Structure 1
Amino acid sequence: MPVLPAPGRTARLGAALLTAAALYAGSARPAAADEPGWTAEPAAGSAPRPGGARPYFYLAGAPGAVLEDRLSLTNATDRERTVTLRGADAHHTADGAFAVRPAAAPTGAGAWIGFGSGATVTIPPRTRAVVPFTVTVPPASPPGDHPAAVVATEAGREAGVRVHLRVSGPTLAALTVEDVSVRGRGAAAEVAYTLVNRGNVALAPQLAIDAEGAFGDLPGRSARPLPLELLPGQRVALSEPWPGAPALDRVRLTLTVTAPGGAEATAEASAWFVPWRAAGWTGAGLLLLGGTGAAAPALVRGRRARAEQPQGGAPGAPPEQGDPTPAPDHELTGAPR
């Protein structure tokens, strides 16, 4: 007959299964402490925008104007959050990424941002708070783009939202290309260069590379956008892979950079492409061959001189009278007697 489990054994088995299920469920969900818990983003405007929510703030006004906008803070957790808000200067890093200056007092457009009495906001659980702020443009502000950001801080975590601020007035889109060079050889070849924004507006540059060798045109790069935004006054060093680099040629490169607003700049550079390892072996072989060719006539002349030299004296000199024994061969070398 079948054996049924005892009641105590069944209870223990059920408890073990429940414990395993609980552990599995806990491991399948990320820990609450690892979740960000809250977000900061531009509040939705009254007019619908293509593509949904705004990715950043865009504000424009004349010197002396006071501009307004709103920040949305969403608390997705089950506990209250207290968030501190501030304005900050912004910039681009060396690789073109948008970044925020440290929490020190801002000296640029970040100092124009104010929250009034709303610089510290307490957000209840599962709640979204909309916080207004202002941007007061100083009367003597130069026209053009001024990068800034709104930064929200809570318990050591920061979230920044970009503020694209343009002061009205004459704008200038201008840039230069500098320090063009070629690095590497073969498939590892790349073109290095530096872009400088000489104007007062942010630029979205495009780059084209033309290459001409001693034997004709070479593969370059058609015009396409670079994955960065160039802020006014910014200088950034970049490089582009160049898989079309030749193995043996003298190349002239022409870099052309353009940006909306009429900005355009060109720069040129020349480079030799030589397979140095093969050239080294070839040069060594030529040196060895040249050395052998130079030594051969001397060797032949030496052998001919010894063949024509009479025994017992210097070349062409008769032996001394009364000395029947010729001088030993070692005297020809200048050795002492």
Structure 2
Amino acid sequence: MASPALRALPLAALLLLAVPAAPVAAQTNDDAGTVTWSVRPADASGEDGRAWVEQELDPGATATEHMAVRNLSDTEVTFALSAADGFFQDNGRFSMLPSNEPSVDAGLWIDVQETVTVGPDETAVVPFTTTVPDNATPGDHAAGIAASVLSEQVGADGATVGVESRVGFRVMTRVTGDLAPAVSLEDVSSSYDLSWNPFAPGSAQVTFTVVNTGNARLLVTGALTAAGGEAGFPGPEEIDQELLPGDERTFSVTVDDVWPLVYIPAALEITPVVGVEGEGAAIDPVTADAGFWAVPWPQLIALAGIGLLIFSTFRGRARSRTRLETLLEAAREEGRREAEDEPAAT
């Protein structure tokens, strides 16, 4: 919830900073100067080293956690504190609903004071409580909690624009009960990127959608094998891919150095892991056939060219031999005529 002062400022635009897995400092600028701050999980005494909050609660239960709001600026700053439903973006990064979108799930379970004022280079530890409704469904529920500031900027048309900047961390609540992790693979499609160099292989790409059909948060990993090659996902430079219950996300995986052998058998396997910070339990892998056609057109064209060259060579030799025989026959015939026309000796 925003403070009365923040609500009074007309908002022409909102800027939402994604809530990262490992919270970092945020910075904004306005006429009052630069405001830089960070928000991290904490206990009553201060930051406790966690990246985010994981908690397991019964329906109807309440738990108290803390957030450390650190003001890295040179002046005192009043931050607005808020909670909202959390979600994973298409790129796998965690975020929370913007201020103008109402929460319908775990964002409503969190109660935190509206504002906190923090002096320059100081940290304020603020408690917040999570109260699970009596009728909450078992499984994982995601929310985010953040500290924000509102600044004014003047747009190109001269209008004053209010910009909300916020940073925070995720709050994952697992409601006790029957945990039923499940996942499905949908819309599996394969394609082949042909290399027109007949002496170079191409690459295979498989696109598919992973759907979390259970009630537990899942970390998704897997591999695609094709023609003896293999590619894992996520890649070494990519972030972990997590899916909340009901989430679906589309992935594309490429295997390089695949020769076109008319039909390429390929197999896709994903290995979901039930997500809990610091641990995880794997569930049965899910597999799908991803075979595809890969007609070796460059090689066929090259073979056709070689065949045409061989045919042309032999045909040229046959023509030369026929022409030579024709010339020899004409020479013999000319010799016979000359012999016949020559007068007999007396």
TM-score normalised per structure 1? 0.66
- Matched to 1:198, the amino acid is T
- Matched to 1:142, the amino acid is T
Evaluate the alpha carbon distance shift between residue 89 and residue 263 of structure 1 in structure 2; reply closer, same or farther with a 3 A threshold. Answer: farther
Q: Distance in 1 between matches of 2:233 and 2:207?
A: 16
Q: Distance in 1 between matches of 2:240 and 2:83?
A: 26
Displacement of 1:32 in angstroms is 8.2
- The aligned counterpart of 1:242 is 255
Q: Does 1:131 align with 2:146?
A: no
Evaluate the alpha carbon distance shift between residue 220 and residue 31 of structure 1 in structure 2; reply closer, same or farther with a 3 A threshold. Answer: closer
Deviations 1:100-154 (A, max 9, x none): 1121221111011111xx2111112222111111111111101110011002111
- The aligned counterpart of 1:196 is 211
Structure 1: 5+ residue stretches without partners: 1-29, 213-217, 290-337
Q: Distance in 2 between matches of 1:248 and 1:202?
A: 40
- Matched to 1:131, the amino acid is V
Deviations 1:148-167 (A, max 9, x none): 10021112211121111110
- Matched to 1:79, the amino acid is T
Q: Distance in 1 between matches of 2:284 and 2:137?
A: 20
- Matched to 2:219, the amino acid is A
Q: Say which of 93, 108, 112 aligns to 1:111.
A: 108
**Helix, strand or coil for the counterpart of 1:232?**
coil
Q: Does 1:86 align with 2:96?
A: no
Conserved 8 A contact 1:174-1:264: no
Evaluate the alpha carbon distance shift between residue 134 and residue 31 of structure 1 in structure 2; reply closer, same or farther with a 3 A threshold. Answer: closer
Evaluate the alpha carbon distance shift between residue 177 and residue 43 of structure 1 in structure 2; reply closer, same or farther with a 3 A threshold. Answer: same
Q: Does 1:147 align with 2:138?
A: no
Q: Say which of 272, 285, 289 aligns to 1:259.
A: 272
- Matched to 1:43, the amino acid is A
Displacement of 1:276 in angstroms is 3.3
Evaluate the alpha carbon distance shift between residue 211 and residue 138 of structure 1 in structure 2; reply closer, same or farther with a 3 A threshold. Answer: same
Conserved 8 A contact 1:95-1:238: no
- The aligned counterpart of 1:271 is 292
- The aligned counterpart of 2:42 is 43
Which protein has the bigger strand share? Answer: 2
Conserved 8 A contact 2:38-2:69: yes
Displacement of 1:285 in angstroms is 11
Q: Distance in 1 between matches of 2:288 and 2:269?
A: 7
Q: Say which of 38, 53, 68 aligns to 2:49.
A: 53
Q: Distance in 1 between matches of 2:291 and 2:28?
A: 57
Q: Distance in 2 between matches of 1:165 and 1:276?
A: 55
Displacement of 1:205 in angstroms is 2.1
**Helix, strand or coil for the counterpart of 2:108?**
helix
Q: Distance in 1 between matches of 2:90 and 2:267?
A: 23
- Matched to 1:255, the amino acid is L
CA RMSD between the two structures: 3.1
Displacement of 1:279 in angstroms is 4.5
- The aligned counterpart of 1:313 is none
Displacement of 1:188 in angstroms is 4.5
Which protein has the bigger helix share? Answer: 1
Q: Distance in 2 between matches of 1:163 and 1:236?
A: 21
Evaluate the alpha carbon distance shift between residue 47 and residue 166 of structure 1 in structure 2; reply closer, same or farther with a 3 A threshold. Answer: farther
Evaluate the alpha carbon distance shift between residue 283 and residue 63 of structure 1 in structure 2; reply closer, same or farther with a 3 A threshold. Answer: farther
Query: Structure 1 residues 160-169 or 275-284, which shifts more?
Result: 275-284
Aligned-residue sequence identity (percent) comes to 32
- The aligned counterpart of 1:296 is none
Structure 2: 5+ residue stretches without partners: 1-26, 151-163, 195-200, 274-280, 312-346
Larger Rg: 1
Q: Which of 1 and 2 has higher RCO (CA within 8 Å, sep 6+)? A: 2
**Helix, strand or coil for the counterpart of 2:188?**
strand
Q: Distance in 2 between matches of 1:32 and 1:149?
A: 24
Task: Tell me how many residue pairs correspond in the alignment.
Answer: 249
